[in-house]
Amino acid sequence: MTVLLEAKNLHITFGAVKAANGVDLHIDEGEFLAIIGPNGSGKTTFLNLCTGYIRPSEGEVYLDGKPITRLPPRTIARKGIARAFQIPQLFLDQTVLTNLMLAIASREGLWQVGKALGRPAYRDEAMALLAMFNLADCAPTLASTLPEGRRKLVDIAIALALKPRLVLLDEPTSGVSALERFALMETLMGALRQAKVSALFVEHDMDVVERYADRVVVWEAGRVMAEGKPEAVFKDARVIENVIGVA
Ligand SMILES: Nc1ncnc2c1ncn2[C@@H]1O[C@H](COP(=O)(O)OP(=O)(O)OP(=O)(O)O)[C@@H](O)[C@H]1O
Q: Distance (Å, rounded) from C-alpha 28 to C-alpha 25?
A: 10
How far separated are the first and last CA of the chain, in Å rounded?
A: 32
Of the candidates 156, 236, 247, 238, the one whose C-alpha atom is nearest the C-alpha of residue 207 is: 247
Helical residues (DSSP H) of 9-79, grouped into ranges: 43-50, 73-78
pLDDT digits (tens, 9 = 90+) for 175-196: 889 889 999 999 999 999 999 9
Going from the Cα of 46 to the center of ligand 1, the distance in angstroms, rounded, reads: 9
Going from the Cα of 159 to the center of ligand 1, the distance in angstroms, rounded, reads: 23
Residue 243 has pLDDT above 80, yes or no: no
* CATH no. of 1-70+199-247: 3.40.50.300
| CA of 86, closest atom in ligand 1 | 27
Q: What is the DSSP letter of 148?
A: H
Domain boundaries, the chain: 1-70+199-247
What's the pTM value of the predicted model, to 2 decimals? 0.91
Going from the Cα of 202 to the center of ligand 1, the distance in angstroms, rounded, reads: 13
pLDDT digits (tens, 9 = 90+) for 82-121: 998 766 678 899 999 999 999 999 889 888 888 889 999 9
Side-chain half-sphere CA neighbours of 154 within 13 A: 34
pLDDT digits (tens, 9 = 90+) for 139-150: 999 999 999 889
Beta bridge partners, 101, equal: none
| Nearest residue by C-alpha to atom 3 in ligand 1 | 14
Of the candidates 120, 123, 121, the one whose C-alpha atom is nearest the C-alpha of residue 97 is: 123
Query: What pLDDT, on the 0 to 100 scale, is given for residue 165?
Result: 96
Q: Distance (Å, rounded) from C-alpha 6 to C-alpha 67?
A: 9
Going from the Cα of 49 to the center of ligand 1, the distance in angstroms, rounded, reads: 12
User: Which residues lie with the beta carbon below 6 Å from any ligand 1 atom?
Assistant: 14, 17, 19, 37, 39-45
